[in-house]
Structure 1
Amino acid sequence: MKVLGRLGAPLLSSIFLFCVCVGMWVFGVYGVVCLGESYLIEWQFFFLCGVDWTLPVIVDYVSVIFSCFVCLISGSVCLFSVSYMDSEVFIRRFMLLIMGFVGSMNLLIFVPSLVTILLGWDGLGIVSFALVIYYQNKKSLAAGMLTVLANRIGDALLILAICFLVNWGEWRFGFSVLGNFSMLICLLVVVGAMTKSAQIPFSAWLPAAMAAPTPVSALVHSSTLVTAGVYLVIRFYGSLLGSPEVLGVLSKVGALTLVMAGLSACCEVDLKKIIALSTLSQLGLMMFTVGVGYPVIAVFHLFTHALFKALLFLCAGSIIHFTGDVQDGRILGGIGRLLPFSGGCLVLSSATLCGMPFLSGFYSKDLILEGAFSGLNGGLEVVIVLVGAGLSLVYSLRILLMGVFGQSFGGCLLMFGVESGYMMVSILILSIGAILGGYLLQGVWVSVSGFDVVGTFGKAVIVAITFMGLLYGVISNLGVWKFSQVLIGGLGRFLSSMWFMGMISGSLVAGVGLKGGVLAHLQLDQGWMEVFGGQGVFSVLGGGISGSYLAQSGGLLVFTRIFLVTVVLVLSCFFILSYLRWSFLGDDCKSLRLRGESRMPC
């Protein structure tokens, strides 16, 4: 009972979330997906200046399935936390933050209004900051500040978009926006979504957020925080169709983020950062898919990605937890023999990530590549997407070769623990989803989006590019280290630093802002604003009060001085005014004489 009292919060939270997931899958999927119906429910609060202030709730196949997946992954994370956070004193506080995170995400999913969506949007930002700094050290604080500052940029852009939407008197998104500010509104929404989904140049905060506990990383980087920007762009897609320029920018930025994150993951050695960079790469792929005109396929990939990426994080967390908090890939190795269940599920999730046929990742990734081939896109964008798809297999194999099949360079076996039953159950649930999720969802998306017809040559190119990453495994197993050193040795620092995105969006922006704030504080707050503001006004008022007190002291000498000073001031003003008057009259007379219009003496 004592153990149940301490671990009751994560257990009850996981049971509650699993029940919500099952109920939503049984009733919601049948009532919305199978019947093909969508519902929009609105509650009107008040009517002001010709505008209805309402709380709309949208129930369609996207929101229902997305919420179901969020509850499933959150329940697995809570169950995983029973063993992972067993030594945590404030476990109830941790679970309260997790439940607040899940509630904010569900509010963002079901509310299609830009005004009310800010509740869920800001809730995600605030709770994510609290979760990233949960360990309360300098590294966590720096990562949390970078995370919250990047998210605040998106908040400000969404508020500006709401201000421009006042012209329409309507804040529900997803409808066509026409008018003078339509392109500007679409651009603000897209850039705001890019900040939340860590697209270039806002990519530095996502790897830095790995300072949070592993259950938080599994939840944040799979189905909640990072996918909020993608979900917002997909929901706003009906308005983005009126601004094809914005969609073009979105596709190019997504393709660059895909390649940048993939190359960085191929040169990283930290296990959690490799998985975080793979998340960033898949987010770039989703943004590219939306930009080229396939939002339905992007939603499909978002759901399948949530399943296998949460599984990948939980497997990595289990390995880190039972190997003495070791996550350096140069030390890890031999996990398949020491932790067979976690190692096997890590192999399964990595295979799903690289698009192994008939697993969940295969269905959505194949649809994206087929859409890129069959769509009216530029040749360079297609090449970039194919390169990004090939890189996914490379960094997936790096995870396996470092952690599962490689040689261990760590300490003795006494550092290793025994796999927990709670962790095994949570990992098993997500493993079933990673295997069957794509198969179960493909019927829904094929019926919605139809088929993309690609020729035999296109299919062959897709297969070749997808499995070209196997060359990396062959090179690594043959031990041809000289080839890899010559090939990527000089570019290693550039690639592993995410093309210096951390310096650009982190050190440069934050450093300039902090230095500017210190300079403004010294020169304005403690400088001119003190002279003309609080201290200056206080000094002037103090001098005036002292003079008034002196004038009212009642001494004869003081009254005489005041009288003489007053007389001198009055006479001085009189003489000055008289001089100005006669000088103006003299100038007028002189001008009249010059023009010959003077009829009286001046």
Structure 2
Amino acid sequence: MMKFVEVFGAPLLCSVFLFFVSLMLWVFGFCGIVGNGGSYMIEWQFFYLCGVDWTLPIVVDHISVVFSCFVCLISGSVSLFSVSYMEGEMFLRRFMLLVMAFVSSMNLLIFVPSLVTVLLGWDGLGIVSFALVIFYQNKKSLAAGMLTVLVNRIGDALLILSICFLINWGEWSFGYGLFDSFGVIICWLVVLGAMTKSAQIPFSAWLPAAMAAPTPVSALVHSSTLVTAGVYLVIRFYSSLVESPEVLWFLSKMGGLTLLMAGLSACFEVDLKKIIALSTLSQLGLMMFTVGIGYPMIAVFHLFTHALFKALLFLCAGSIIHSTGDNQDGRILGSLDQLLPFSSGCLVLSSVVLCGMPFLSGFYSKDLILEGAFSGFSGSFEVFVLLVGAGLSLVYSLRISLTGVFGQSFGSSLCFFMVESSYVVISIYVLVIGAIVGGWFLQLVWVAVNGFDLVGLLGKMVIGFVTFLGLVYLLMSLLKVWKVEESLLSVFDWFLSSMWFMNLVSGSLMSGVGLKGGLSMHLCLDLGWMEVLGGQGALKALGKGISFIYTMQSGSLLTFLRVFLVFAGFILVIFPLSF
């Protein structure tokens, strides 16, 4: 018993603590904040210097309370899941310390509306995510970690620049609609920084690469914490962004392109975890598009429902990978409905929620987004991209189910299969309840969100048709019409499966060119010209100068005559008119 507590005490203790915090936020937050419909600002002043008030503000409203509640709930489920998944891991306590640091950084980002203190949580997420991605110490993990931290550092630099411009206001809180000549620049910096953290085009390569991390980390990072930090930043400061419509126009275009690119790439991917990562990227593009067309509250609604079912999807995939001997290739997996009925059933359920099945969590927010796009002022091309992206969600959800669960198994013998432990079952059950009833309950909380727009009968029919458009893929799979698919898509297969060459644009360009440029600068500047112009060059110049001065002061008449002639010639050249 003592040995069990010593080995698994850390994840169990963290799980109980996070579940308790989530319950307290649910009870007191919903009774005091959400129930009354108010919001509170708590502010501590440290000192007042040069006209700038240095304070620590904390905002407590329905968005921050619900978001923090969901983050703690998902983190508690991930910690409980880690008891089984990380079994036998030598550095389990270190892993749990990193997870708790990650959750703390995210909560700091959620509750603080000041850009200076947001930067603390923002930097904390970037640094801890690097440590979590390289947790398995191999070349693939290190390359993914370097790509992740380099892209995140771009966002950090952009936020620091926006803080520098905020000095002109003498105020660090950006979300109050303050605006002047620097307002547009600050809005651009904040939006571009948020795009790096949420992996929008052209910063999309790091998110699928971060799948090198352990599956509990993927469930935490890609559902409710790191990737949603950029979306949350844009939503929190929307009152200032709305005063520069060109920034929101750009955000909606990039979000729509990311939605389309990730959806098409997920339809050609074979790795189970990468399909789920690309679906996360697609949903992030959908959230950014929703904010860009002017519906931040619906984007918050979709952010919360997405966190529930995407964490469930990752945990189910992690249970399958762990039970099948660390195998995540969809071409090998199969027949899991008979071998692992619980995990595969919950995987199918989470896929159904992802594609927007009516009356499950994903349906409410997705339907509202489509209604808002139809009744808003967005262009026809944006609506077309949104409809195609919404239809593709059912296609890659069906690919997960058909290849991994219901297909034929080409893997190893049954002796390598393991049964899910009770910790895995409990952690998945918690998120299953949230995926089924979370959207309905949040719709009751967000009463103002439901019924923003009214579309006609034709619009509702189009929304329903697009939601189930991916069933064409199921029909092709059942009829085995693979020749049609090959003839139609063979030309674009390479382009679509490579994320529109985003790996070359933001991956190789960010890490490869940066690292090679740093190496060449080290060889050419640090060990080359800087040595000539710097330390060694200064030493040689100083030595030659001392020897020259020593020669001039040698006391020889011939030397004095030469110095006099040189000095006289110099005077005649510089001041010719004076003589």
For Structure 1 versus Structure 2, the TM-score category normalised by the shorter chain is: over 0.9
**Residue pairs, 1:114-193, within 5 angstroms:** 114-193=115-194
Mapped to 2, the partners of 1:312 and 1:24 lie a distance apart of 24
Q: Specify the alignment match of 1:359 in structure 2.
A: 360
SS at match of 1:136: coil
Q: Specify the alignment match of 2:557 in structure 1.
A: 564
Mapped to 2, the partners of 1:546 and 1:252 lie a distance apart of 68
Q: Specify the alignment match of 1:461 in structure 2.
A: 462
**Residue pairs, 1:526-537, within 5 angstroms:** 526-537=527-538
Deviation at 1:561, TM superposition (A): 4.2
Deviation at 1:560, TM superposition (A): 9.3
Normalising to structure 2: TM-score of the pair? 0.97
CA RMSD of aligned residues (A): 1.7
Q: Describe the superposition over 1:116-155 as per-residue Cα deviations: whole angstroms up to 9, x where unpaired.
A: 1100000000000000000010000100011001101111
Letter in 2 for 1:23: M
Q: Specify the alignment match of 2:335 in structure 1.
A: 334
SS at match of 1:54: strand
Letter in 2 for 1:121: W
Decide whether the 8 Å contact of 1:308 with 1:349 is kept in 2. Answer: yes
Normalising to structure 1: TM-score of the pair? 0.93
Q: Rate the CA distance shift 1:313–1:576 in 2: closer, same or farther, 3 A.
A: same
Q: Describe the superposition over 1:5-42 as per-residue Cα deviations: whole angstroms up to 9, x where unpaired.
A: 10000000000000000001000111000011110011
Q: Which runs of 5+ in 2 are unaligned?
A: none
Q: Which runs of 5+ in 1 are unaligned?
A: 552-557, 587-602
Segment of structure 1 superposing worse, 268-277 or 369-378: 369-378
SS at match of 2:401: helix
SS at match of 1:584: coil
Decide whether the 8 Å contact of 2:368 with 2:450 is kept in 1. Answer: no
Mapped to 2, the partners of 1:244 and 1:255 lie a distance apart of 17
Q: Rate the CA distance shift 1:387–1:114 in 2: closer, same or farther, 3 A.
A: same
Q: Rate the CA distance shift 1:446–1:528 in 2: closer, same or farther, 3 A.
A: same
Decide whether the 8 Å contact of 1:193 with 1:229 is kept in 2. Answer: yes
Q: Rate the CA distance shift 1:565–1:419 in 2: closer, same or farther, 3 A.
A: farther
Aligned residue pairs, count: 578
SS at match of 2:58: strand
Mapped to 2, the partners of 1:390 and 1:575 lie a distance apart of 88
Q: Specify the alignment match of 1:17 in structure 2.
A: 18
Mapped to 2, the partners of 1:384 and 1:571 lie a distance apart of 83
Deviation at 1:480, TM superposition (A): 1.3
Letter in 2 for 1:191: L
1:576 aligns with 2:569: yes
Q: Specify the alignment match of 1:88 in structure 2.
A: 89
Mapped to 1, the partners of 2:87 and 2:77 lie a distance apart of 16
Decide whether the 8 Å contact of 1:222 with 1:307 is kept in 2. Answer: yes
Segment of structure 1 superposing worse, 320-329 or 479-488: 479-488
Q: Specify the alignment match of 1:412 in structure 2.
A: 413
Deviation at 1:489, TM superposition (A): 2.2
Letter in 1 for 2:395: V
Instruction: Decide which structure has the larger Cα Rg and report it.
Output: 1
Q: Specify the alignment match of 1:105 in structure 2.
A: 106
SS at match of 2:364: helix
Q: Rate the CA distance shift 1:577–1:135 in 2: closer, same or farther, 3 A.
A: closer
**Residue pairs, 1:285-296, within 5 angstroms:** 285-296=286-297
Percent identity over paired residues: 71
Decide whether the 8 Å contact of 2:262 with 2:279 is kept in 1. Answer: yes
Q: Describe the superposition over 1:417-468 as per-residue Cα deviations: whole angstroms up to 9, x where unpaired.
A: 1111100000000000000100110012223564321111100000001001
Letter in 2 for 1:568: L
**Residue pairs, 1:537-548, within 5 angstroms:** 537-543=538-544
Q: Rate the CA distance shift 1:273–1:568 in 2: closer, same or farther, 3 A.
A: same
Q: Specify the alignment match of 1:62 in structure 2.
A: 63
Q: Rate the CA distance shift 1:543–1:574 in 2: closer, same or farther, 3 A.
A: closer
Deviation at 1:540, TM superposition (A): 3.2
Which consecutive segments of 4 or more residues in structure 1 shift more than 4 A?
542-548, 558-561, 577-583
Q: Specify the alignment match of 1:555 in structure 2.
A: none
Mapped to 2, the partners of 1:198 and 1:58 lie a distance apart of 26
Mapped to 2, the partners of 1:159 and 1:390 lie a distance apart of 39
Mapped to 2, the partners of 1:567 and 1:358 lie a distance apart of 101
Decide whether the 8 Å contact of 1:296 with 1:449 is kept in 2. Answer: no
Decide whether the 8 Å contact of 2:298 with 2:449 is kept in 1. Answer: no
Letter in 2 for 1:350: S
**Residue pairs, 1:12-51, within 5 angstroms:** 12-51=13-52
Deviation at 1:510, TM superposition (A): 3.0
